[in-house]
Structure 1
Amino acid sequence: MPDLVFTRRFSMGHRLIHGASESCALPHGHNEFVTVRLEPTNPTRLDGRGNMPVSFQKAKQTWHRFVDERLDHALQLAGDDPLLAWFKAHEPARATRIVVTPGDPTTELMVCLLMAKISAFLLAEGGILRCSELSIEETPTNTVSFAGNPADFIPHTSLQQNWWNRADMSIAD
């Protein structure tokens, strides 16, 4: 069965404070492209009529809404970043636009978190499709791709159900 592949562009800001990339310690932004590859969970022969497990429109509707309304122009910060506490204390309305991650919001972590998020959406929509690969193009020369179980790579947190595992529009806990 053919896979469905689609890409969405979003602008974001982030900073990395834990020393792995000192040049990224100051807040800065990227125009990123996130590409997902969806495959049917039950591949079957095309039926000669509709010839698809689900329409492109239905397959990408929730995901595109999440990217456009929650990721685009959001700030990505580690849960222990002092800027997060500052926003919560001084600009609580803007704090709702911050993607909070377990550790630095690197592209490597974000592909895992977003793979988990789209997987939650797809499961809630009946599980007809599954995401087999997700990639983020951070710059024209840097892309990170992920295929596999994101739970095997996302840092452990004390919460039972983090935002990336919920089929809602949340970007923080």
Structure 2
Amino acid sequence: MITGLYKEVQFDASHRLLHYKGKCANLHGHRWKAEVWMEGEPDEKTGILIDYNTIKEIVCRFDHQIILNEADPMIACINKYQQVIVTPGEPTSELLAVLIKNDLQEYCRAQNLSAKVVKVRIWESPNCYAEVAGSTLPSRACG
């Protein structure tokens, strides 16, 4: 029987948009919220589709981190003092949604789980989010 699940995880992280013309080009932080929807066949023995703590661990690799575009010259300076998460492009909410979706899906493949990521939504403020669903491109909403 196909089962669906939902997990919400909040994390704090800083980023900047290197190629953005505006205040988001400055290093700044957010209280991000990730929402994850998954579905599949639960394990026959445990009855679990995927451990909620696994979802939290995958999302929380970003917690209390600085996230920068791989082309950002700030990486060399900050790396002297702390680890930087480097992304293949601008560290937008759209890209974080894709990265988290891909990380979760890779975990499920590696663990031979039937779970599939249905949707990942990343909130970077209380009224703005980006989401990626299935194999679609990310979408954005602000209210």
TM-score, structure 1 normalization:
0.70
Aligned structure 1 segments of 4 or more residues deviating by more than 6 angstroms:
none
CA distance in 2, matches of 1:147, 1:115: 9
Deviation at 1:53, TM superposition (A): 4.7
Distance in 2 (CA, whole Å) between partners of 1:108 and 1:64 is 19
Superposed displacement of residue 74, structure 1:
0.7
- Could you tell me whether the CA contact under 8 Å between 2:117 and 2:134 is conserved in 1? no
Q: Report whether the alignment pairs 1:65 with 2:57.
A: yes
Query: 1-side partners of 2:73 and 2:94: how far apart?
Result: 22
Aligned to 1:118: 104
* Number of aligned residue pairs: 136
Cα shift at 1:104: 1.1
TM-score, L = length of structure 2: 0.83
Residue in structure 2 matched with residue 6 of structure 1 by the alignment = 7
Given the superposition, is the C-alpha separation of residues 2 and 62 from structure 1 closer, same or farther in structure 2, using an over 3 Å criterion? closer
The residue number in structure 1 matching 2:35 is 35
Residue 126 of structure 1 deviates from its aligned partner by 1.4
After superposition, the C-alpha distances for 1:67-124 in whole angstroms (9 at most, x for unaligned) are 33x2111111000101112123x32xx12xx221111101111111111011111111
Identity of aligned residues (%): 28
Partner amino acid, structure 1, of 2:122: I
The residue type equivalent to 2:13 in the other structure is M
What is the Cα-based RMSD across aligned positions, in Å?
2.4
**Which residue pairs with 1:168 in the alignment?**
none
1:8-32 CA distances to partner (integer Å, 9 max, x unpaired)? 010110000112x521011101101
- Asked if 2 retains the 8 angstrom alpha-carbon contact of 1:2 and 1:39, the reply is yes
> Cα offset for 1:36?
0.6
Matched, 1:146 2:132: yes
Q: Distance in 2 between matches of 1:67 and 1:148?
A: 18
Of Structure 1 and Structure 2, which has the larger fraction of its residues in strand?
2
Quick one: structure 1 residues 67 and 114, their matched pair in 2 at CA, closer, same or farther if it must change by over 3 Å? closer
Q: Structure 2 stretches of 5 or more lacking a match? A: 139-143
Structure 1 distance, partners of 2:105, 2:113, is: 9
Task: Output the CA distance in 1 between the equivalents of 2:3 and 2:27.
Answer: 40
Structure with more of its chain in helix, by fraction: 1
Instruction: Choose which of 48, 54, 59 in structure 2 pairs with 1:54.
Output: 48
| Separation in structure 2 between the aligned mates of residue 53 and residue 84 of structure 1, nearest angstrom | 44
Give the conservation status (yes or no) of the 8 Å contact 1:16–1:22. Answer: no
* Structure 2 residue identity aligned to 1:31: R
